[in-house]
Amino acid sequence: MRILMTGAAGGVGTLLRPRLAREGRVLRLLDVAPVEPGPGEEAVTADITDQDAMAKAMDGVDAVVHLGGHSVERPWAEILDVNINGTYVVLESARRAGVPHVVLASSNHAVGFHPRTDEAGDYLFPRPDTFYGVSKVTKEALGSLYHDRYGMAVTCLRIGSCFERPRDPRMLATWLSPDDCARLVEAAVAADGYHVVWGVSANTRRWWSLEEGRAIGYEPRDDAEVFARDLIARHGEPDLSAPPHTLVGGSFCGPELDVDN
């Protein structure tokens, strides 16, 4: 079993690497930045927009975990090139190589302008909060296209906040622990069909659904609440009726877009 991970040198990729290591599994780590491979790993230094390099990188691959691309807001031209065109190249090269399973790192920012509800359901209609969010909507759409056209199994993860630990009070609700992220990716790599699932831990303050995640076999075990006392001592108890807590995308919904002049 060989899994190609794009964006392997990034934040989520770095957290996932040791957690996805398995006997009989090879992780092929792809990034524009060089990565030092460990046991059970292979490294490829390549740009996800480079079609020839991606064709080679797909050789012998059973599943792709596509994390590559900008992970925050950038000017439109950069988002278009790396996140949108890059996802097309990843999916098209996976199709040509006959890769059956693809996991796409989407984000809560694909639906960032949805207001707080008791529980935000699965498959919320796109309401991106940034150009970055638009690229995640496009990623989900491309995944849907490749599933419907070619039967590729595609699971899109609307990831909340995947860090070693929550960094602010919003993340008490939106945190995806590294261990739960690995559990989610394991479930997603094995899932058939097309799915869009929230990437969130079993947080006490969670307001995003776990239903579709559980339907594909994701069972989160972590809860950001263990960090609450410390975060609230530093930042105060969050006022859920005020930004950044009123919208899915939090502070991403605030700044002006960086449009080309």
Residue 107 DSSP SS3: strand
Whether the Cβ atoms of residue 55 and residue 98 lie closer than 8 Å to each other? no
By CB under 6 A, name the one of 83, 138, 155, 174 that touches ligand 15L.
Answer: 174
Size of the site for ligand 15L (CB under 6 A): 8
Question: For residue 194, what are its two tokens?
Answer: 């097309």
By CB under 6 A, name the one of 28, 66, 74, 109 that touches ligand 15L.
Answer: 109
Using rule CB under 6 A, residue 135 touches ligand 15L: no
Is 132 an annotated catalytic residue?
Answer: yes
Residue 45 DSSP SS3: strand
Whether the Cβ atoms of residue 169 and residue 229 lie closer than 8 Å to each other? no
Using rule CB under 6 A, residue 108 touches ligand 15L: yes
Using rule CB under 6 A, residue 71 touches ligand 15L: yes
Closer residue to ligand 15L, CB minimum distance, 53 or 80: 80
Closer residue to ligand 15L, CB minimum distance, 139 or 152: 139
User: Applying CB under 6 A, which part among 57-65, 107-115, 118-126, 209-217 lies near ligand 15L?
Assistant: 107-115
Set 88, 123, 132, 150: catalytic member:
132
Helices (H), the chain: 11-20, 51-57, 76-78, 86-97, 131-150, 171-174, 178-190, 211-215, 228-235
Using rule CB under 6 A, residue 72 touches ligand 15L: yes
Phi, psi of 180 (to 5 degrees): -65, -35
Residues in the site for ligand 15L, rule: CB under 6 A? 71-72, 107-109, 161, 174, 250
